[in-house]
């Protein structure tokens, strides 16, 4: 628990070859001092794959880098960007779990991918939230009125992910699986009060019939922004270093997912050192490499010291489409300027009900966008799929108590938190799952109107990049409903 906090109950022409290797999935749980031998999972077959999705800088179309301010044009490539995929099949249900080295692939593109992959019962596409890759949302173009997305590049990403999933599914093989955890909060910095972190790294270790590791899934909650706002070289940021270190160590494919990066979870300051013992910080490729290695070493601890066997069947999926009211005036203006290009409706007042199409005649009414929440059961493992940057408080129920009296909703009921929704289960939080709707802030921390919390003269960073105050309550209630559907189907 965090000091001053209590747990309370409440209401990313082909640029590169596709690599496919059979591997297994594991479940997640608490770290164990004694490893539990893996159990053969004869009913589940798994495979992994990867494809290069680095945009072409020689084609003449500018590539605008996402994640900080506008007007940051890519001048080169430090390391390639990838889409990585894990396919799991229990004989009756087949799912694809995809991670892309992008700032936030939007829900409409995910729907385009799914339309081409009808042989899968579910396709998850999560973005790492890479701050050193191409703009795929629109708001990081040449200027505030210029869209930063290259639609031809988006088409390439869709095509490559579709083919990646199909090729991966052709290499399914039986596996055994283990889940592991390891904790190190010193590898995170929380830049917003109250200080709450998700310092638990979760792994799914996969072993083939020959007894060799055939894959590893890593879930870690930190913004891929170690290179900062001045960098102009495309890179997958520290996850590339984490993946590279683990691939060298275990000689198997690595799939990396970002977890709860809201709050704001970032790489730490004055924690990572060079060979001379000097601190390294943001904006340095050596810092990126060393931090990525440190995350890799934490993952190795989870694999080697904190793993237990899990089964991967049966596979069950519960997903729910929801409509989010967009209170953010900047988002609304960007859509009006065609900087953000996305279907929008009028907010109906009910997150389950689609409103009338948004038009010039009703543009003064609250706008809403469609997104999705899901819970995927892989046997003993539950994947909670949230379409944005969720705050860690919403994972563990570590809400400040009492709340600061100057927040906008000091009496707001608390959202159901993940650790209670999936109580007693082995779970993994997949952030930016199928969409990027911005920050998902607990309502009792929403602080946009003065006077501001903590005696501040201005609001903390967060609300400016959130759709609005009602996002967290809507998404967490939808997640609880998905979990209840899975429970009733058992």
Q: Which domain holds residue 353?
A: 315-489
d(CA 89, CA 236): 29
Q: Could you give the count of Cα atoms lying within 13 Å of 67 in the half-sphere of its Cβ?
A: 30
Do 319 and 263 fall within a single domain? no
Do 98 and 217 fall within a single domain? yes
Do 288 and 352 fall within a single domain? no
d(CA 332, CA 488): 39
For residue 279, what are its two tokens? 């601190």
Residue 434 Rama label (left phi>0; alpha psi -120 to 50; beta): left
Residue 362, in any domain of the structure: yes
Do 304 and 324 fall within a single domain? no
pLDDT at 23: 35
Q: How many domains does the chain have?
A: 2
pLDDT at 7: 33
Question: Which parts of the chain have pLDDT scores under 70?
Answer: 1-42
Q: Which of these three, 264, 291, 310, is where a domain ends?
A: 310
pLDDT at 5: 34
d(CA 416, CA 430): 17
Find the Cα–Cα–Cα–Cα dihedral 412, 322, 324, 402, rounded to 10°.
20
pLDDT at 225: 98
pLDDT at 4: 34
Q: Which of these three, 269, 288, 310, is where a domain ends?
A: 310
pLDDT at 59: 84
Residue 5, in any domain of the structure: no
Residue 6, in any domain of the structure: no
Residue 452, in any domain of the structure: yes
Do 366 and 271 fall within a single domain? no
Is 294 in contact with 187 (CB distance < 8 Å)?
Answer: yes
Residue 4, in any domain of the structure: no
Do 137 and 214 fall within a single domain? yes
Residue 238, in any domain of the structure: yes
pLDDT at 43: 75
pLDDT at 20: 39
Q: Which of these three, 310, 341, 370, is where a domain ends?
A: 310
Other CB atoms within 10 Å distance of the CB of residue 366: 17
Do 59 and 195 fall within a single domain? yes
Do 331 and 401 fall within a single domain? yes
Do 261 and 377 fall within a single domain? no
Do 301 and 219 fall within a single domain? yes
Residue 2, in any domain of the structure: no
Do 27 and 109 fall within a single domain? yes
Do 376 and 280 fall within a single domain? no
Q: Tell me which residue of 359, 274, 315 sits closest to 89, measured CA to CA.
A: 315
Is 313 in contact with 41 (CB distance < 8 Å)?
Answer: yes
Residue 202, in any domain of the structure: yes
User: Can you say how many angstroms the Cα of residue 91 is from the centroid of all Cα atoms in its chain?
Assistant: 28
């Amino acid at each position: 628990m965090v000091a001053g906090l209590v747990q309370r109950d409440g209401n990313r022409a082909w640029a590169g070859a596709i690599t496919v290797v059979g591997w297994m999935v594991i479940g997640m749980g608490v770290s164990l001092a004694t490893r539990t031998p893996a159990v053969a999972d004869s009913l589940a077959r798994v495979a992994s794959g990867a494809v290069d999705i680095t945009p072409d800088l020689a084609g003449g179309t500018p590539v605008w880098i996402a994640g900080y301010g506008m007007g940051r044009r890519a001048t080169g490539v430090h390391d390639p960007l990838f889409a990585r995929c894990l396919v799991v099949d229990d004989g009756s249900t087949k799912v694809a779990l995809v991670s892309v080295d992008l700032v936030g692939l939007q829900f409409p593109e995910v729907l385009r991918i799914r339309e081409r992959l009808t042989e899968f019962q579910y396709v998850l596409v999560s973005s790492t939230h890479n701050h050193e890759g191409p703009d795929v949302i629109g708001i990081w173009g040449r200027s505030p009125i210029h869209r930063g997305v290259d639609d031809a590049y988006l088409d390439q990403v869709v095509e490559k992910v579709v083919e990646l999933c199909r090729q991966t599914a052709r290499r399914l093989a039986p596996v055994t699986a283990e889940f592991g955890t390891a904790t190190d909060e010193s590898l995170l910095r929380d830049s917003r009060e109250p200080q709450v972190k998700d310092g638990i790294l979760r792994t799914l270790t996969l072993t083939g019939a020959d007894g060799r590791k055939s894959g590893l899934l890593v879930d870690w909650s930190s913004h891929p922004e170690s290179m900062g706002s001045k960098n102009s070289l495309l890179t997958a940021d520290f996850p590339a270093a984490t993946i590279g270190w683990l691939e060298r160590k275990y000689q198997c494919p690595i799939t990396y997912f970002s977890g709860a990066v809201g709050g704001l979870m970032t790489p730490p300051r004055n924690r990572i050192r060079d060979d001379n013992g000097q601190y390294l910080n943001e904006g340095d490729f050596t810092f990126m490499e060393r931090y990525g290695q440190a995350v890799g070493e934490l993952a190795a601890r989870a694999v080697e010291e904190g793993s237990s066997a899990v089964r991967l069947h049966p596979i069950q999926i519960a997903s729910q489409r929801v409509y989010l009211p967009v209170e953010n005036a900047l988002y609304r203006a960007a859509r009006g300027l065609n900087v953000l290009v996305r279907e929008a409706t009028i907010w109906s007042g009910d997150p389950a009900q689609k409103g009338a199409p948004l038009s010039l005649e009703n543009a003064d009414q609250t706008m809403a966008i469609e997104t999705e929440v899901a819970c995927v059961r892989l046997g003993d493992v539950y994947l909670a799929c949230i379409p944005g940057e969720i705050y860690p408080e919403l994972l563990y129920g570590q809400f400040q108590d009492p709340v600061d009296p100057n927040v906008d909703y000091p009496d707001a009921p608390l959202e159901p938190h993940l650790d209670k929704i999936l109580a007693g289960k082995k779970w993994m939080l997949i952030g930016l799952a199928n969409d990027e709707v911005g920050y998902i802030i607990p309502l009792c921390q929403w602080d946009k109107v003065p006077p501001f919390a903590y005696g501040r003269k201005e609001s903390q960073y967060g609300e400016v990049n959130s759709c609005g105050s009602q996002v967290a309550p809507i998404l967490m209630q939808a997640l609880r409903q998905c979990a209840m559907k899975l429970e009733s189907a058992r």
